[in-house]
Amino acid sequence: MKEFTSKTLESLFSLEGKTGIVTGASSGIGKEIANILVDAGATVYDLSLILCDETNQNIIRKQIDVTDKEAMKAAIDTIGKSSGIDFLINNAGITKRVKAQDVDSAWWDKIHEVNVDALFFASQFAYPYLRASKNVGRIVNISSMAAYMGFSEVVPYCSTKSAVTGITRGLSVEWAKDNVLVNSISPGWFQSEMNKQVIDDERNKKMLGKVTLGRYGDLKEIAYMALFLVSNASTYITGQDFSVDGGARAFGY
């Protein structure tokens, strides 16, 4: 039984021989995703603006601004032509707290450039290599509960994450016959560096009060969902968003 189970798990979740990209993989959710995918056998390219000093022979780190389209296309082409691309995890994102009436056009443009435009164009640049994957090409976009719920003082962020889920559905339909599956993950509340920027004690109490499980998630719990979505266990899933939120969206009273 143990031998059978081992073979089954390996056939479903091993990423041995697969290569992919995780944007913003030098910290937070992206870093945990990259580490889990490498543990499963993948080679991961981390495309981040600020690189961490953590070394792992199967994580190749490249410093890059994801909003620099020319640099991103060049980096993705280099990866694709040298080793192929089996998956792309669009994780890089930004946010900050600012009242809606005080949002200026510079911040509105910047957050959409990072969270929406960069995600779309990275997907576009990776498309020919994902389509040519010997496996099934995968795109996993990191969205947010903010795509579904209204939160004060982060309206631009809510806008970007609603756009991410829309892009996910649209690409999944358009590329369905091109060997590319496109899904997204909407994290609930995790103690990431991004969340620390917008959560104070009052918000912390309100948020945890609406989480069915009553706790923050562990970053590994997001990474496991990413592993599932790029693995052989999810070959009939596309155009879906997966809420990893401790039951927050289901919570009533």
Catalytic residues: 157
8 Å CB contact between 64 and 111: no
Tokens encoding 211: 């989480």
Whether 85 contacts 79, CB under 8 Å:
yes
Radius of gyration of the chain (CA): 18
The H-or-E segment that residue 65 falls in is: none
Helix intervals (H) in the chain: 2-13, 28-39, 69-83, 105-112, 118-131, 155-174, 193-198, 201-209, 219-230
Is residue 142 within 8 A of residue 90, CB to CB? The reply is: yes
Question: What's the N-to-C CA distance of the chain in angstroms?
Answer: 43
